[in-house]
Each structure stands twice: as structure tokens, then as C-alpha cells.
Structure 1
Amino acid sequence: MYAIFDAESNMPSQYAIAVDVHPTDNALLINMDFEHPLELEVDLRDHKRNSLYADCQNHDSGAYRLELPSFEVSSYTLRFSESSGKFYRVFRIMKAFC
């Protein structure tokens, strides 16, 4: 199970971003929905090796579905940056140990 924390943001409230994480047997699925048209750059890195998993752009309102290996990685940083660099939002995704 993973927990999502809103780590840092200066993005206006009308630019809502919803993030859901669903672990599977061999991958971590990250669903991202955008409620307002906004050109965003998406950057997903793990904290263990700082490996870049996703670096892509969303040119209109929509959703991403990322699938990546989840084994041996306990936390990720998911950063959304508006194309001009003026607004950003950062999420921490961490494995919850029970």
C-alpha cells in the first residue's frame, strides 16, 4: 500500500490534479487526472536511485496512467510543472509499512 502526500505547490486551486496509486503484482500504477486544460511536464523519480521514470507533457486536459516497477523502491517524487515554469506541484508517494 502507498500513501500520497501533497509536498509542495504554488499552483492555483482551479488547476486540480488528482493522483491515485494502485500497486499490482509487479508494477505500480499511477493514475493522474487533470480538471483544467494546462500544459504540464510530468517528472517521476524514485528516491533510492533518483532514476527518471516519466518525463512527458500533457497538452490538454486528460489523464496519465504510468506503470513502473515497484519492487525495492519505497518512495517517489512526482512533480508537475506548468510549461512556463510559473506553477508547480509536487507529490511524495511513499510505501506504507504495516
Structure 2
Amino acid sequence: MEYDDDEVVPGDLGIGRGGVRTPAVEAPVERLVGAPYPHSAPFCMLLGRTEVVPDEQLRQRWSDRDEYLRAYTEATDRLIEEGFLLADDREEVLADARPERITW
């Protein structure tokens, strides 16, 4: 992770820079936020929340579904090459891609 003093340096979507970059972080259509929704049940305070990345920001990243899927696949294959993901798990990770979010 990249730090500035004791704080994680956020990227353009607020996702921390550096570290092991999963496909969902490298090719995001949603982002995980550490803070829960206001007035959440106490248990939810442990989990944070998931926010959808607005279409406008997705359009700035990918021209179409194929470009998104290429980025997701490349991120998956990079994790395998770097030893952070088993090749046997590749198809399961690729199944987590969310191409339906790219509607143009």
C-alpha cells in the first residue's frame, strides 16, 4: 500500500493505491468503503459498505464491455503470474466480473 504519514493514499475512486490488486480493484465497477451506512446495525459496522461506481466514471475508464473484460482478465492473469492466485482458481475469479454494468 502507498501511505502518506499513516494514511493510505487513495486513487481516483477512493480505493487505496498499491498493495495486491485484485481484479475487482484493478477493474472496478463498485468500491468497498470501510465506513458503514449511517444508522446501520452494529454488526454492519464490521463490514463497511459497497458503492456502485457511477456510469460517468465507468465510461471514462472503458469504451465498452470488451475493454472492461480485458482489464479484468489481465488483472486476474497478473495475480497468477505474481503468485497471489492459483491458476486453478482463474475461472472462478473471472466469473466475478460484472460486464452487465457496462451498458454502452
Which structure is higher in helix share?
A: 2
Higher relative contact order (CA 8 A, sep 6+): 1
Do the structures match in fold with TM over 0.5? no
**Structure whose CA Rg is larger:** 2
- When normalised by structure 2's length, the TM-score is 0.23
Which structure is higher in strand share?
A: 1
- When normalised by structure 1's length, the TM-score is 0.23
